[in-house]
């Protein structure tokens, strides 16, 4: 059972810039959902192997062959900001 | 006589080949139908009118030249808007992808085109396929053709509404916890979730990778079989794609159920199930028994906690799948002085409340200190559930249940309580967790004239027997009602 | 640093030199225009799915086998979740609790001793794109914007993590060099530090001598040469000891090596203790390395540097020669092997390669693919010296000629007129002439001044333009003078 949800920490891990009000709202909803979800803990017996592919596929690989890449203009046409063939973002970190 | 848009793919296919109609006429018929119904239904996010007509002209020319690509040749099909179409806006019904034009086609899109199908447009859905009513679309909800005060189900609600209303002859949806079968049930059509790994997910905007599967929504079981037949098969671009032999979907459509053993899942009944739903399913079981099937009760106790496992696994995978929407390479971008700020604001603005909720839930379930109790335990439930289903299939050929505990609910009825919305998936999501196939077939109308669907489930790659039973249910139900949308309008 | 014991572990990232990327068919190639080797998969476009490169899996198995690791029977990929602008999916496909390789080791030679460094694990992952921070000043947080190029995104990367078995900066360097040599030998990576195709990070802590618990570790990054690795580790050890001796505390953190300033400085990370929320990658299926597959990969392994050094010592080289030759460019080793095969004695053959040939290369081509000298030619040259056909000094000239493409050693010796005259009959006349022309010297010799013999030998050498075998001339002169006496 979740004792305490550090909702601000979770939101930061998920890169969701939510207001305090929104955080409170989601926290109470999450609490209810997690109460229900915690029922998974009622499964008894030996811990079984974690689920894998339903058809038990394994060893799926591609051969080391080069295929043509995308057209750069088409790719960059979807980007909010570009410069000289690059995608552009603000600096990585603040000056804190 | 039925209007052209009310016919099945099999029926219009005959008319096409007998020269009674043309591919262009079929496209014009669905576009006209869309024109007539969209204001009420909002099934589509994008209609691709001119390219569809151009494709239909090419399809007619091919037929005239004796080049027949098969049963989908010239058939107008709609795609749920979470499947990438090169150059055609693809949004997953999210603000964060508004205006996004993918530079590539999903494998199913290529397969449909190769089969001659004409893609008429992109249908509405719950944002990123997260929801059971299509009310979570960032671009407004879709409505149920049987009662526009009610939801069409979800998340493939737009595809279901379009097929039910005749603004597409068939559609593709995606099913992560019931998102094809439940809306098919709520709109009186057929919906199939195939075995995990049989339809390529390449180009499907992921919700929960280990659960997502594309499948058809159709007016008939035969239409569903031929559509699935066109899109499934091994795809080297999807590492989870099944490379082996595929079952014959159409071989047993007319075989009947004599000699089959049908298991009724005991746990899919009781509290929360509408009497009309239980009654309709019960009547069908009697009919199947009369048709020569042996009906037995089967207990799958872990099903009771499947929903809990589902609401940990799906959000956990989603929390990672949706991390890529960050405002850097495509889609919506909010301003920010640093990359971190830009991403956090972009995501807070771009995602709606249900998506935000699930990302938070999934992030939490995977985070340090909680992983074992939540995500890890959910995966163990999944394995236990699979063992139970597989054991059941050692004694029965298929399992059946209602598709949804209720018929279509009112718009807004469950939006305030996420958990009540989640409970509408209770019959459908267990087989997503185990990767098995399921189909919903309409069997009756309830007292409010709303359709009731019945679900047939089969073991992995058991589609042949699943379609065999579904086709018999369809015959026995004789369900030929169509929504009276015109009169509502 | 008396009283303190450094404890060091090294993490190495090796970019594999496959033709295509780890999970898509985009070309692995460097120095291209930005964002030209990209596709839906390595750009993290919605709907794209990864499919692993078989060659990369076989190469990580080869690396594991070369490091004496256990190859897991079953291994899976995980998602490692963190947000970064050059990580397109905002998760990295990596491996968590079931890496392909674990529990291996690598031996290094330090101060005449063999030291065994444990390998904790080696796992497969994908590289990120490249961020270029532009703006005012060079430091990250003074940048105004970030330019993103995803050509490198998805290049196969093997991470090799050592156990904390390293005890000095010098050992850290030796470990890194030896590991690089192994990777280069396997041919699975360009393994160039300058280009970042092999990258070393170090985890450094110190503890009081004799203490068994570990001190707080600091991760140091951004060392792009073996020398900077050694300097950075040394600096960090001193920094930590200084802190502890002045009553301070070491903080667990990541520090950046500043090559110019010769110091490490703290890289502030905002997320504090990171929580990567690893879970099994649902887009991929498990890998099953059955033993037959492992053996097939093992059969492709080349002779590794340590094995080769041991073999060289066994055939008679001293350990310095063995080390130098073994670590030299493959072209030189190939000549050596071919010369041995052609019957050359190993030591002189090695000496020629390490000395004269290497010297020539340094002047002409420091990084040769092909050296214009064959094994049989070297064998012939060595034999000519041993047999006295050319003098040692003439042999150097012969080598110059061979390297200049003038032909085989014998041809060059003849053309350049460098054959020693070892035939006594051919020399006798010259000796007689010299004796006849130098009666004074002869008189002195007879008077007991035997030193004058050297002068006479010199005269004969001069008369034969240096081609006479000096030993033979010496003997002939002695004989003649004795006769005349």
Between B379 and B484, name the one with better pLDDT. Answer: B379
**Residue B347 and residue A17: Cα distance in Å, rounded?**
7
| Residue B303 Cα distances to B462, C229, C392, angstroms | 20, 57, 89
Residue B1 in this model has a pLDDT that exceeds 70? no
Question: In the block, which residue shows the tokens 């063999």?
Answer: C114
On the question of pLDDT at A45 being above 80, the answer is no
What is the distance in angstroms between the Cα of B196 and the nearest Cα belonging to chain C? 12
Distance CA B274, CA B447 (A): 11
CA A34/CA A31 separation, integer angstroms: 5
pLDDT at B142 over 60: yes
Chain C residues with CB under 8 Å of A75 CB are 35, 38, 43
Q: Do A61 and C54 touch (CB under 8 A)?
A: yes
Write the burial class of residue B419 (CB in 10 Å: 0-12 exposed, 13-18 middle, 19+ buried).
Answer: middle
Mutation target for C interface from A17, A51, A91: give the one with most C CBs within 10 A: A91
Question: How distant is the Cα of C159 from the closest Cα of chain A, in angstroms?
Answer: 20
Nearest 5°: phi and psi at B219?
-85, -20
pLDDT digits (tens, 9 = 90+) for C324-381: 998 888 889 999 999 999 999 999 999 999 999 999 888 887 777 788 999 999 999 9
pLDDT of residue B489: 42
Q: Using the structure block, give the residue that is written with the tokens 């004799």.
A: C210
Q: Can you read off the two tokens belonging to residue B146?
A: 């049987």
Residue C421, pLDDT score = 76
Percentage of the residues of chain C whose pLDDT score is greater than 70? 96
- Mean pLDDT of the region C28-34: 93
- Catalytic residues of B, which ones? 80, 155, 179
Rounded Cα gap, residues B327 and B348, in angstroms: 11
Mean of the pLDDT values across residues B33-39?
96
Measured distance CA(C483)–CA(C485) in Å, rounded:
5
Q: How many CA atoms lie within 13 A of C9 on its CB side?
A: 19
Decide if B342 and A78 are in contact by the 8 Å CB cutoff.
no
Name the closest residue on chain B to residue A13, using Cα atoms. Answer: B363
If you measure CA to CA, which chain C residue comes closest to B330? C45
Give mean pLDDT, residues A58-68: 97
pLDDT: which is higher, A8 or C456 = A8
Reduced to 3 DSSP states, what percent helix, strand and coil does chain C have, rounded to the nearest 5?
Answer: 40, 20, 40
Pair B83, B123: CB distance under 8 Å: no
Give the separation between CA A40 and CA A33, rounded to whole angstroms: 12
User: What is the tens place of the pLDDT at every residue in B421-446?
Assistant: 888 999 999 999 999 999 999 999 99
pLDDT of residue B357: 96
Q: Is C90 exposed, middle or buried (0-12, 13-18, 19+ CB in 10 A)?
A: buried
Task: Name the E strands within C83-182.
Answer: 91-94, 101-110, 113-126, 130-135, 143-149, 156-162
Count of CB atoms situated within 10 Å of the CB of B353: 15
Q: Which residues of chain A lie closer than 8 angstroms to B360, CB-CB? A: 7, 10-11, 14, 16, 26, 30
pLDDT attached to residue C300: 96
* pLDDT at C254 (0 to 100): 92
When mean pLDDT is compared across B8-17, C34-43, C248-257, the lowest value belongs to C248-257
Q: Which of B242, B308, B414 to mutate to test the interface with A (most CBs of A within 10 A)?
A: B308
Q: Mean pLDDT across the stretch B51-61?
A: 98
Q: Who wins on pLDDT, C467 or B79?
A: B79
User: Given CB atoms, is C48 within the 8 Å cutoff of chain B?
Assistant: yes
What pLDDT sits at residue C438?
Answer: 87
User: Which whole number is the average pLDDT over B68-84?
Assistant: 98
B285-313 CB burial, b ≥16 within 10 A, e <16: bebbeeeebeeeebebebbebbbbbbbbb
**Nearest chain B residue to C88, by CA:** B324
Residue with more model confidence, C434 or B245: B245
CA pair distance C118, A23, nearest whole angstrom = 47
pLDDT in the model for residue C273: 55
Bridge partners (DSSP) listed for residue C93: C79
B206 CB neighbours in chain C (<8 A) are: 46-47, 283
Q: What is the largest CA-CA distance in chain A?
A: 60
Mean pLDDT of C46-60: 98
What rounded mean pLDDT belongs to chain C?
91
Among A57, A63, A64, A71, which would you mutate to test the C interface (most chain C Cβ atoms within 10 Å of its Cβ)? A64
Q: Which long-range CB contacts under 8 A does C24-27 form with residues at least 24 apart?
A: C24/A67, C24/C48, C24/C50, C24/C51, C24/C154, C25/A62, C25/A65, C25/A66, C25/A67, C26/A66, C26/A67, C26/A69, C26/C154, C27/A66, C27/A69
Q: How far apart are CA B175 and CA B155, in angstroms?
A: 8
pLDDT at position A95 is: 38
- Residue C138 confidence (pLDDT) above 60: no
What is the average pLDDT value for chain B, to the nearest integer? 96
Q: What is the spatial distance between Cα B460 and Cα B154, in angstroms, rounded to a whole number?
A: 24
Closest CA to B466 of B438, B443, B442: B438
Q: What is the pLDDT of residues B329-339, one digit of tens each?
A: 999 999 999 99
The arithmetic mean of pLDDT across residues C442-465, rounded, is 84
**With 60 as the cut, is the pLDDT of residue B487 above it?**
no
Q: How close B377 comes to chain C (CA, Å)?
A: 13
Residue C138: Cβ within 10 Å count: 9
| pLDDT at position B479 | 94
CA–CA distance, C256 with C140 (Å, rounded to integer):
12
Q: Does C282 touch chain B (CB under 8 A)?
A: yes
Q: Which of residues 89-128 of C touch A (CB under 8 A)?
A: 90
Q: Is the pLDDT of residue C114 over 50?
A: yes
pLDDT mean over C426-447:
84
- Segment B172-213, tens digit of pLDDT: 999 999 999 999 999 999 999 999 999 999 999 999 999 999
DSSP B188: T
* The pLDDT of residue C109: 87
> Using CA atoms, how far apart are residues C399 and B42, in angstroms rounded to an integer?
86
Q: What is the DSSP string of C426-468?
A: HHHHHHHHHHHH-HHHHHHHHTT-TTHHHHHHHHHHHHTTT-B
Mean per-residue pLDDT for B408-415? 95
| B366: closest chain C residue by CA | C277
How, if at all, do strands B190-193 and B438-445 pair? antiparallel
Residue B435 to residue A55, Cβ atoms within 8 A? yes
Give the SS3 label for residue C91. Answer: strand
Provide the whole-model pTM.
0.91
* Residue contact C285–A60, C-beta within 8 A: yes
Cβ-defined contact of B382 to A51 (cutoff 8 Å): yes
Tell me, yes or no, if A53 comes closer than 8 A to chain C by beta carbon.
yes
Are residues C51 and A62, on separate chains, in Cβ contact within 8 Å?
yes
CB B124 within 8 A of CB B78: no
How many whole angstroms separate alpha carbon C132 and alpha carbon C283? Answer: 30
Give CA–CA dist A81/A88, Å, rounded: 5
| Residue C187 per-residue DSSP state | T
**pLDDT of res. C485:** 53
Q: How many residues does chain B have?
A: 489
Interchain CB distance below 8 Å, C83 and B319: no
pLDDT tens-digit readout, C163-194: 999 999 999 999 999 999 999 999 999 999 98
Give A-chain residues touching C141 at CB under 8 angstroms: 91-95
Using CA atoms, how far apart are residues A92 and C141, in angstroms rounded to an integer? 7
Given pLDDT bands bounded at 50, 70 and 90, which one contains residue C456? confident
- Mean predicted confidence (pLDDT) in C119-127: 98
Alpha carbon distance, N-terminus to C-terminus of chain B: 21
Rounded Cα distance between B162 and B145, Å, is 9
Cβ neighbors of C176 (< 8 A, separation 6 or more) are: C10, C12, C200, C226, C229
- If contacts are CB pairs under 8 Å, which of residues 82-121 in chain B contact chain C? 83-84, 90, 92, 97, 100, 102-104, 106
Most A CBs within 10 A among B242, B364, B425, hence the mutation to make, goes to: B364
pLDDT tens digits, B113-128: 999 999 999 999 999 9
Q: Which residues pair with B121 in a beta bridge?
A: B47, B78
Q: Is A63 on the interface with C (CB under 8 A)?
A: yes
| CB contacts, 8 Å: B347 with chain A | 14-17
Sign of the C-alpha dihedral, residues A27, A28, A34, A35?
Answer: positive
pLDDT for residue B410: 97
* pLDDT tier at C143, thresholds 50, 70, 90: low
The alpha-carbon gap from C256 to the nearest alpha carbon of chain B, in Å, equals 21
Q: Is B378 helix (H, G, I), strand (E, B) or coil?
A: helix
Pairing relationship of beta strands C143-149 and C130-135 according to DSSP bridges: antiparallel
| Rounded average pLDDT over B242-259 | 98
pLDDT tier for residue A96 given thresholds of 50, 70 and 90: very low
Beta bridge partners of C14: C158, C198
Question: What average pLDDT does range B59-65 have in this prediction?
Answer: 97
The residue behind tokens 């120095």 is C31
Pick the residue from chain A with its C-alpha nearest to C136: A91
Reply yes or no on whether the pLDDT at B488 is more than 60: no
CA distance A3 to chain B (A): 10
> Do A37 and B378 make contact, defined as CB atoms within 8 angstroms?
yes
Which pLDDT belongs to residue B273? 95
Q: Find the mean pLDDT for residues C423-445.
A: 83
pLDDT of residue C268: 65
**Could A37 and B342 be called an inter-chain contact, meaning their C-beta atoms sit closer than 8 Å?**
no
User: Considering CB atoms only, which of B197, B236, B379 is closest to A57?
Assistant: B197
Q: What residue of C is the nearest CA neighbor of B242?
A: C285
Q: Please report the beta strands in C281-360, taking only residues with DSSP state E, as ranges in sequence order.
A: 287-288
Q: Shortest CA distance to C230 belongs to which of C166, C183, C182, C184? A: C166
- Residue C102 Cα, gap to closest chain A Cα (Å): 20
Span C394-420, mean pLDDT? 90
């Amino acid at each position: 059972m979740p004792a305490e949800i550090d909702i601000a920490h979770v939101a930061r891990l998920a890169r969701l810039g939510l207001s305090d009000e929104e955080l409170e709202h989601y926290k109470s909803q999450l609490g209810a959902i997690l109460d229900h979800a915690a029922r998974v803990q009622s499964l008894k017996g030996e811990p079984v192997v974690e689920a894998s592919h339903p058809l038990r596929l394994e060893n799926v690989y591609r051969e080391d062959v080069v295929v043509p890449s995308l057209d750069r203009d088409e790719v960059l046409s979807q980007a909010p900001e570009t410069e000289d063939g690059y995608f552009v973002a603000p600096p990585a970190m603040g000056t804190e | 006589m039925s209007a052209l848009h009310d016919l099945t793919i099999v029926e219009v296919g005959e008319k096409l080949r007998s020269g009674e109609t043309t591919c262009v006429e079929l496209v014009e018929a669905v576009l006209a139908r869309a024109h007539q119904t969209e204001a009420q239904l909002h099934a589509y996010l994008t209609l691709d009118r001119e390219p569809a007509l151009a494709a239909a002209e090419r399809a007619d020319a091919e037929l005239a030249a004796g080049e027949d690509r098969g049963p989908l040749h010239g058939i107008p099909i709609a795609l749920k808007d979470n499947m990438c179409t090169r150059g055609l806006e693809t949004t997953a019904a999210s603000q964060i992808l508004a205006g996004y034009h993918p530079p590539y086609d999903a494998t199913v899109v290529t397969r449909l085109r190769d089969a001659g199908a004409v893609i008429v447009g992109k249908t509405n859905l719950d944002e990123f396929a997260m929801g059971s009513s299509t009310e979570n679309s960032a671009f407004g909800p879709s409505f149920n053709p049987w009662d526009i005060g009610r939801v069409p189900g979800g998340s493939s609600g737009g595809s279901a509404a379009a097929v039910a209303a005749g603004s597409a002859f068939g559609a593709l949806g995606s099913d992560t916890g019931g998102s094809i079968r439940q809306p098919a049930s709520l709109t009186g059509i057929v919906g199939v979730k195939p075995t995990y790994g049989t339809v390529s997910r390449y180009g499907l905007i992921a919700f929960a990778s280990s659960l997502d599967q594309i499948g058809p929504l159709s007016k008939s079981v035969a239409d569903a079989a031929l559509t699935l037949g066109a899109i499934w098969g091994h795809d080297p671009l999807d590492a989870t794609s099944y490379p082996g032999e595929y079952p014959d979907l159409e071989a047993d459509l007319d075989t009947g159920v004599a000699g089959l053993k049908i298991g009724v899942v005991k746990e899919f009944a009781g509290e929360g199930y509408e009497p009309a739903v239980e009654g309709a399913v019960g009547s069908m079981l009697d009919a199947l028994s009369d048709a020569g099937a042996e009906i037995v009760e089967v207990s799958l106790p872990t099903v009771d906690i499947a929903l809990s496992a589902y609401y940990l696994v799906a959000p956990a995978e989603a929390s990672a799948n949706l991390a890529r929407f960050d405002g850097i390479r495509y889609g919506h971008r909010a301003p920010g002085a640093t990359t971190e700020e830009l991403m956090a604001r972009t995501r807070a603005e771009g995602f709606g409340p249900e998506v935000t909720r699930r990302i938070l839930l999934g992030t939490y379930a995977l985070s340090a200190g909680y992983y074992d109790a939540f995500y890890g335990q959910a995966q163990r439930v999944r394995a236990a559930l699979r063992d139970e289903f597989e054991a059941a299939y050692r004694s029965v050929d298929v399992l059946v249940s209602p598709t949804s505990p209720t018929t279509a609910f009112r718009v807004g009825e469950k939006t305030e309580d996420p958990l009540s919305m989640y409970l509408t998936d209770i019959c459908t999501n267990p087989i997503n967790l185990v990767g098995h196939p399921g189909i919903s077939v309409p069997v009756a109308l309830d007292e409010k004239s709303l359709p009731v669907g019945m679900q047939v489930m089969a073991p992995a790659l058991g589609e042949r027997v699943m379609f065999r039973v579904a086709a018999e249910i369809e015959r026995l139900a004789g369900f030929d009602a169509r929504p009276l949308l015109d009169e509502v309008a | 640093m008396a009283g303190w014991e450094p404890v060091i572990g090294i993490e190495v990232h090796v970019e594999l030199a496959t033709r295509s990327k780890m999970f898509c068919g985009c070309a692995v190639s460097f120095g291209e225009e930005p964002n030209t080797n990209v596709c839906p998969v390595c750009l993290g476009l919605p709907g794209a799915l990864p499919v692993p490169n078989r060659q990369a899996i076989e190469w990580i198995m080869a690396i594991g086998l070369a490091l004496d690791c256990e190859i897991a029977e079953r291994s899976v990929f995980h998602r490692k979740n963190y947000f970064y602008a050059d990580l397109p999916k905002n998760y990295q496909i990596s491996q968590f609790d079931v890496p392909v390789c674990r529990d291996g080791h690598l031996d290094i030679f330090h101060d005449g001793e063999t030291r065994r460094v444990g390998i904790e694990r080696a796992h497969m992952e994908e590289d990120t794109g490249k961020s270029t921070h532009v703006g005012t000043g060079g430091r990250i947080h003074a940048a105004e914007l970030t330019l993103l190029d995803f050509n490198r995104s998805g290049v196969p990367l093997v991470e090799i993590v050592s156990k904390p078995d390293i005890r000095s900066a010098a050992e850290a360097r030796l470990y890194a060099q030896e590991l690089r040599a192994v990777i280069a030998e396997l041919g699975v990576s360009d393994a160039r530090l300058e280009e970042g195709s092999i990258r070393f990070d170090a985890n450094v802590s110190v503890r009081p001598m004799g203490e068994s618990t570990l001190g707080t570790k600091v991760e140091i990054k951004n060392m792009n040469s073996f020398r900077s690795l050694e300097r950075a580790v040394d600096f960090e050890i001193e920094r930590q000891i200084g802190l502890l001796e002045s009553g301070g505390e070491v903080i667990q953190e990541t520090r950046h090596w500043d090559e110019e300033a010769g110091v490490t400085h703290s890289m502030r990370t905002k997320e504090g203790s990171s929580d990567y929320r690893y879970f099994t990658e649902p887009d991929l299926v498990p890998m099953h390395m059955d033993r037959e597959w492992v053996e097939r990969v093992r059969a492709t392994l080349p002779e590794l540097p340590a094995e080769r050094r041991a073999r060289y010592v066994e055939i008679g080289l001293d350990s310095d020669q063995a080390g130098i030759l073994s670590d030299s460019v493959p072209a030189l080793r190939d000549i050596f092997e071919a010369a041995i095969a052609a019957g050359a004695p190993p030591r002189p053959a090695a000496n020629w390669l390490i000395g004269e040939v290497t010297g020539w290369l340094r002047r002409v081509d420091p990084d040769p693919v092909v050296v214009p000298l064959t094994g049989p030619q070297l064998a012939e040259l060595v034999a000519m010296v041993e047999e006295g056909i050319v003098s040692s000094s003439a042999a150097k000239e012969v080598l110059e000629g061979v390297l200049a493409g003038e032909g085989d050693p014998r041809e060059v010796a003849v053309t350049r007129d460098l054959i020693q005259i070892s035939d006594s009959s051919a020399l006798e006349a010259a000796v007689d002439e010299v004796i006849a022309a130098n009666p004074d010297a002869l008189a002195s010799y007879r008077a007991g001044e035997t030193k004058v013999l050297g002068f006479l030998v010199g005269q004969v050498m001069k008369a034969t333009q240096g081609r006479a075998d000096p030993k033979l001339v010496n003997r002939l002169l002695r004989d003649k003078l004795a006769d005349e006496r």
